C-alpha cells in the first residue's frame, strides 16, 4: 500500500530528476532508490554485527566448519 509523504530534496537533485525522469515515474524512482539504500544500510549493520561476533569467537578451520555442517545436517 502506498503512503504519501513529504520529503525535502536538494535543488540540484530535484532539477536533475525533473529533467531525466518522466513525471509519472518519479515516485517509483525514489521508492526504488530508497529500497536499495535501505538494503545497503541493513547489510552494513549485519556486517558490523558479524564482525563483532567474529572478534569474540575463536578461529575455526575449514575442516571444522565442514564437520559441524555435516553433523548439523544429520540432526534433521
**Does residue 43 lie in a domain region?**
yes
Half-sphere exposure of 35 (CA within 13 A, CB side): 6
**Does residue 1 lie in a domain region?**
no
**Does residue 62 lie in a domain region?**
yes
Q: Write out pLDDT tens, residues 7-18.
A: 999 999 999 999
**Does residue 18 lie in a domain region?**
yes
Please tell me the pTM assigned to this model.
0.70
User: At 49, is the pLDDT very low, low, confident or very high (cuts 50, 70, 90)?
Assistant: very high
Q: How many angstroms separate the CA atoms of 31 and 12, rounded?
A: 19
Q: Max alpha carbon distance in the chain (Å)?
A: 59
**Residue span of the structural domain in which 23 resides:** 11-74
3-class DSSP state for residue 33? Answer: helix
For the chain, how many structural domains are there in total?
1
**Does residue 4 lie in a domain region?**
no
Task: Determine whether 17 is exposed, middle or buried from the number of CB atoms within 10 Å of its CB (0-12, 13-18, 19+).
Answer: middle
**Does residue 2 lie in a domain region?**
no
Q: Write out pLDDT tens, residues 60-69.
A: 999 999 999 9
**Does residue 17 lie in a domain region?**
yes
Amino acid at each position: 500500500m502506498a503512503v504519501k509523504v513529504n520529503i525535502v530534496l536538494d535543488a540540484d537533485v530535484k532539477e536533475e530528476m525533473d529533467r531525466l525522469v518522466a513525471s509519472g515515474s518519479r515516485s517509483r524512482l525514489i521508492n526504488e532508490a530508497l529500497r536499495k539504500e535501505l538494503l545497503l544500510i541493513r547489510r552494513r549493520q549485519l556486517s558490523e554485527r558479524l564482525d563483532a561476533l567474529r572478534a569474540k569467537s575463536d578461529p575455526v578451520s575449514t575442516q571444522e566448519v565442514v564437520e559441524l555442517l555435516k553433523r548439523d545436517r544429520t540432526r534433521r
